[in-house]
Amino acid sequence: MIRKTLSASLLALAIAAPFAQAFEAGDIIVRAGAITVDPQEDSSDISTAVTGPLSGTKVGLDSDTQLGLNFAYMLTNNIGIELLAATPFTHDITAKGLPGGMSGDFGEVSHLPPTLSVVYYPLASQSAFQPYVGLGVNYTWFFDDSLSSKAESDGFNGLELDDSWGLAAQVGMDYMLTDNVMLNAQVRYIDIDTEATSNHAALGKVKVDVDVDPMVYMVGLGYKF
């Protein structure tokens, strides 16, 4: 009986040993995984220089998944700063409600949304499970704006989206698989607002305001240095 109890105790200690310290001040954490940007877009009516706002018109954006990267530095055992990075996202743009068969595939745009956040881990550092919340600021850089061949054949020329500054909030969790390796999952909301402009041979300057406001989901692995 004593031998069984001792064996069980040693097994418990062996299992618990890797989790002796999840995070502590000075740790550097690198995470990588699949990250999806899912726009929850809401646009104004599309407006042209000739007609003004066209009632019932909208633009839409699809989702995209890329390689996501997180870099974090722990200021204390419970508070850290974190940078979100990723390979560029590309979204198809659709126009809705335009007259004369001009709705449909309108173009595409790529962007990078680096986000700097302060994150808070409420649990004791001895816990293998580490939920956290974060709040930060996002800068979204739009580039490679391009029209579809359909939009060009419909008389449109050029496409440009303004860059955006906004707040970002997140919830996430780390689960320590070993003393250094962790499983990570996180969900973010990012405030991204932009104005898209183009030109049309007959309608003049065309513009629309878009609240992109995506939900961002990431699942991956991390390593603590």
CA pair distance 100, 95, nearest whole angstrom: 12
pLDDT tens by residue, 84-105 = 999 999 999 999 999 888 899 9
Q: SS3 helix, strand, coil % of the chain, rounded to 5? A: 10, 60, 30
Domain assignment present for residue 3? The answer is no
Domain assignment present for residue 88? The answer is yes
Residue with tokens 């995506």: 214
Query: What pLDDT, on the 0 to 100 scale, is given for residue 22?
Result: 81
Domain assignment present for residue 145? The answer is yes
Asked whether the predicted pLDDT for residue 83 surpasses 50, the reply is: yes
pLDDT tens by residue, 45-60 = 999 999 999 999 999 9
Helices (H) and strands (E) in the chain, counts: 2, 17
Domain assignment present for residue 13? The answer is no
Q: For residue 101, what are the contacts with CB-CB under 8 A and spacing of at least 6?
A: 154
Domain assignment present for residue 192? The answer is yes
pLDDT tens by residue, 94-134 = 999 998 888 999 999 999 999 999 999 999 888 999 999 99
Domain assignment present for residue 10? The answer is no
Domain assignment present for residue 48? The answer is yes
Buried b (16+ CB within 10 A) or exposed e, 210-222: bbbebebbbebeb
CA pair distance 120, 134, nearest whole angstrom: 6
Asked whether the predicted pLDDT for residue 30 surpasses 70, the reply is: yes
Report the residue count for the chain: 225
Beta bridge partners of 200: 156, 204
Asked whether the predicted pLDDT for residue 164 surpasses 50, the reply is: yes
Domains of the chain: total: 1
Residue 196's domain comprises 22-224
CB 167 within 8 Å of CB 193: no
Which CATH number characterizes residue 218's domain? 2.40.160.20
Beta bridge partners of 186: 172, 218
At 210, the pLDDT band (50, 70, 90 cuts) reads very high
DSSP annotation of 125 reads: T
